[in-house]
Amino acid sequence: MKRIGIECESIENDTWGIARIITKLLEEIARRPELQKEFKFFLYFKSKIPDYPYLNNPIFHKEIIWQPLPHKSFVLYYYVFLPMRLWFSGLDLMFFPNYMLPMIQFGTSLVLLTDDIYHEMRSAQQRFHHRLAYWVFGYWSAWFASRIMAISETSKKELVRLFHINPNRISTNLLAVDTPHHGEKKSGRPFILYVGQAFPRRHLKETLLAFERIAPEFPELDFQIVGTDKYAPPLLPQLKDEINKKLGAERVRHVSFATDKDLATQYATAKAVVYISSREAFGLPVLEALAYGSVPVVADNAMSHEVLGEEGFFVKDPDSVESIADTLRDMLTNEAKYAAVRQNAKHITEKFTWKAHADRFIHIIRTMTNA
């Protein structure tokens, strides 16, 4: 029986990003009793084991990594005490989904890596010690991980280009979209939806200014934001209030968090979902828009076309308020294209399932542990 370790700190308190990927992967593994004859998965946590039903499956062994201090430090957990614990674990493979490989980690390792970390190393918005950690341990992953897992072919190409990794060391495992649930459409004013953390490369500021520009042409249309303001300094509250004041009504709304049920309803009801990101390793809101019957408005780049093909509304210049406004106007008036995107949505989303993601993950670890 193969002993596979998975670093799980991300799911202790979060449901976004890496936490979502790990949650969906573990849920899929828990649904497959036949895997118990082949694998035992050892799940490692920093502070607590969350109370998720799927974690009660006997295929999982769960462990909180001991630390000597009352305050549970991520730095000590991830870079010191976790790899020290792994020295004595007898694992056949350890999966690190958090982009970074500890320097004192030995044995076979699989690291999820995206090109985002390369840019975070150089971002002035990141604190110095975060940039340093990304630089040291991100490059350590690129150089010394047994295998890299990328989440798209576009991201894999960027990893090869930026980190000079041999492409044969990288396995692509596409992400997936959730099966729609509780996504009942609500009546009321139509709206455009933005979901996700907001920071410069996702161009929410420019998108809001574009909405302000077209809003008088579509007086029944609103704009809803779900996600945290990660601009430095934060700008959404002031920008939202300024736009609403100019438009003479509360047409832009912002909440930092929504439950899965509420978010599903938002997706199902939205006229469109905007995710105009200059750079993404994947970009789940794009697929989620299609899955719930909305249409995506995205940047015209390789990642968008890898996921959507031509089924979406593409912004030629994400930095341009005018370009975004033109694309939003096209989405709102081009009824034939809008209907075609919705009609073809299922042919796209059925390619991106968590079952297929888990299948590829199992194939990767089989390949690595049977070598």
List the domains of the chain with CATH numbers.
Answer: 2-175+353-369 (3.40.50.2000), 191-349 (3.40.50.2000)
Is the pLDDT score of 10 beyond 80? yes
What pLDDT is attached to residue 217?
A: 97
Position with higher pLDDT, 329 vs 346 = 329
**What is the greatest pairwise CA distance in the chain?**
66
346 or 39, greater pLDDT: 39
* Average pLDDT of the residues in 201-208: 96
- Check pLDDT > 70 for residue 183: no
Percent of the chain with pLDDT over 90: 77
Residue 204 has a CB neighbour count (10 Å cut-off) of: 28
**For residue 261, what pLDDT is reported?**
85
pLDDT of residue 181: 57
* Per-residue model confidence as pLDDT tens digits over 231-246: 989 999 999 999 999 9
**pLDDT value, residue 198:** 92
pLDDT for position 69: 86
Mark out the alpha helices in 12-151 (DSSP H runs). Answer: 17-30, 74-76, 82-86, 116-120, 128-144
Does residue 199 come out as left (phi exceeding 0), alpha (psi in the -120 to 50 range) or beta?
A: beta
Give pLDDT, residue 70. 85
Q: Check pLDDT > 60 for residue 371.
A: no
Q: Which residues contact 135 (CB under 8 A, 6 or more apart)?
A: 121
Angstrom distance (rounded) from CA 328 to CA 339? 15
| Mean pLDDT to the nearest integer, 35-56 | 96
List of residues 6+ apart from 257 with CB closer than 8 A:
226, 228
